[in-house]
A and B are shown apart, each in its own frame.
Chain A
Amino acid sequence: MVVTATVALLAAATASMILGAVHVPFSDIWQSLTGQAEEGPLRQIVVELRLPRTVSAIVVGAALGVAGALLQGALANPLASPDVIGVTGGAGFGAMLTLLVWPSAIALLPVGALVFGVTAAGIVFLIGWSGAHAGAIGRVILAGIAITALFSAATTSLMVAYSDRVQSAIFWIAGGLSSDGWSSLSVVWPYFSVGFVMAIFLARPLDRLALGDDVAASLGGRPRLVRLAAAAAAALLASSAAAIAGLLGFLGLVIPHLVRLAGGTASHRFVIPASALTGAALLVAADTLARVVLAPIELPVGPLMVVLGVPLFLWLLREAV
């Protein structure tokens, strides 16, 4: 499973570098990346457009896969995705605020999405981790649903108020990568890093949490703290992903399932890294296809990925014992 995902990722990344509106031969890519190529349009395409786009797709795909794995583990709920802790609602509002209200400040779009995504999750955690049943799964999920509803309502209100500008926001809602070089990634990479490092440390504690809070506590763990840390890491990863690539919620929900079904185990020490690899491979492949199918027109990646991912997922679901 891990080998397959790694091979798929490498193949997709290579294809992503070669294919597009302009075909770049592999030898030119190699020379450009190793610094042997002469200055010219091909080198420029590789280094300034294709490379950042491929790297962004890898990072975003991995982040969404890991965010989903963390949340499904922390909330012991197979339906958990970044939607349930308010991230999607918050990031959507932040992006719409920038796109619709201050379209001249479009450079701030990743910041808006990140800040509001994390803020929404923060409010959910504040409500979810207070009171007598602080950190209980039901409380966190209910708080998430309420906050998501609130931010979605605010987003809808913005779209109604600025209906003449909604056209420009549709591509972001659909989800997809752009060819704006390293600018978005350079803003959010620290948040990705923190999220990924936290995920590595959370794998074993999440395995204990799977046996229930009492067993986790019996084994010397602090289940509510682990749940909070996992949700916080997921919020950072999903908000950062939304900042770069818009709303690609489907990845976060489906990738961990795909990995568990194909890998035959639910151990987070497998599911977390495998979700990172698989999420990255799927997003890079989908993004490449989106650029190639009707080149030079780019299809929105979000819907395309769903079209690719759903049959694969349904097939695995049928095969699962």
Chain B
Amino acid sequence: MSEARLVATDVHVKIGDTPILHGASMSVHAGELLAVVGPNGAGKSTLSRAVSGLQAMEQGDVRWGGTPLGELKGRKIARLRAFVPQRAPVPAGVTVREAVELGRSPHIKAFQRPTRHDHDAVDQAMERTNTYEFADRRLTTLSGGELQRVQIAVGLAQEAPVLIADEPTSHLDLGATAIVARLLRRLADDGLSVILVVHDLALAAAIADTVVVMAAGKTAATGKPAEVLTPERLSDVWRVDAELDDAGALRVNWLGR
């Protein structure tokens, strides 16, 4: 496999006095879709924010293309990774195109005008996410699924080699979830590295190349979905009697009988 674009080792994070992460690790390569799964409060989102530089670390080693995260500030880190948050505010009076254009900020200096290439990157980001057709609509008029694709388009306009999406599907219906899932898979197939923080294990198993299981602030396992999401681990980490069947569906014994 190619050299890793991101390597995070032994990440520790405290928020206030509460330790959230104590020993989490992950790495991602070109064209790889990495799903980070785990129960609520396991530290999935915190890990994705810490490696992105959005959350201060207490200790740990995070390197982007070999360069320590601490040396990457502002525009530098913004050109290496795009972070798509779980739930972003929806400002009034902003169109889809205006929002996606903001994704170009890491490439445009203060008081500079966007170049031809900036406009092309914005168009391309909207085309890849199928948001071009409503480019001139206001964000406030979009559905949840459309908004989520716009958020991804903002990240794509950054033209960073790694896209980190924090639970992009958690508020979406089945159809909208499938659209986002296919989109992320396609982006990885095109060579992007995608880190997807996700609750839905069946979804993770279906689209991810690699799964990182987080439990109680630590990485419990990393590997291919079928190797990692075993009935034993589902029982250990999630406390449920469940298994992934050969078709990739998650079979859960809901009532525990």
Chain A: residues with CB nearer than 8 A to chain B? 76, 78, 132, 201, 204, 207-208, 210-212, 214-215, 217-222, 260, 264-267
Quick one: closest A residue to B83, CB to CB?
A218
- Measured between C-beta atoms, what is the minimum distance from B42 to chain A in Å? 20
A-B contacts, CB under 8 A, total: 80
**Contact A132-B89, Cβ < 8 Å, known A219-B158, A220-B75, A266-B94:** no
Please determine whether A204 and B105 come into contact, CB atoms closer than 8 angstroms: yes
Scoring B91, B92, B154 by chain A CB atoms within 10 A of each residue's CB, the highest score goes to B91
| Closest beta carbon of chain B to A75's beta carbon, Å | 12
Contact with A along B63-89 (1 / 0, CB 8 A): 000000000011111110111110011
Q: Which one of A204, A214, A265 contacts B98 once the chains associate, using CB atoms below 8 Å?
A: A265
Q: Given A215-B154, A219-B102, A265-B98 in contact, is the A260-B93 Cβ separation under 8 Å?
A: yes
Give the residues in chain A near B15, CB-CB below 8 Å.
132
Kindly state the separation between the CA atoms of A132 and B56 in the bound complex, as whole angstroms.
Answer: 12
Residues of B bordering A, CB below 8 Å: 15-16, 49, 52-54, 73-79, 81-85, 88-89, 91-95, 98-99, 102-103, 105-106, 110, 151, 154-155, 158
A211 x B93 contact (CB < 8 A): no
Jot down 10 A-B pairs with beta carbons below 8 A, ordered by A. A76-B89, A76-B91, A78-B92, A132-B15, A204-B105, A207-B102, A215-B102, A218-B54, A220-B106, A265-B94
* Contacts A218-B52, A219-B158 given; does A212 touch B106 at CB 8 Å: no
A215 / chain B contacts, CB cutoff of 8 Å: 83, 85, 88, 102, 151, 154
The reply to whether B106 and A210 form a contact with Cβ atoms under 8 Å apart is no
Q: With the chains together, A208 CA to B74 CA distance in Å?
A: 13
Central interface residue in A217, A222, A264, by most chain B CB within 10 Å: A217
DSSP class of B's interface residues: helix, strand, loop or mixed?
mixed
* Cβ B78 vs Cβ A218 within 8 A: yes
B88 touches A214 (CB 8 A): yes
Q: CA A56 – CA B154 in complex, angstroms?
A: 42
Q: Which residues of B contact A218 (CB under 8 A)?
A: 52, 54, 78, 81-85, 155, 158
The reply to whether B88 and A211 form a contact with Cβ atoms under 8 Å apart is yes
If A218-B84, A221-B105 touch, does A267 touch B54 (CB 8 Å cutoff)?
Answer: no
Cβ-defined contact, A208 with B89, below 8 A: no
Q: Is the CB of A208 within 8 A of B98?
A: no
A207 contact set on B, CB distance < 8 A: 102
C-alpha gap A218/B15 in the complex (Å): 20
Residues of chain A within 8 A (CB-CB) of B81 are: 218
Instruction: Please report the C-alpha to C-alpha distance between residue A211 and residue B84 in the assembled complex, in whole angstroms.
Output: 11
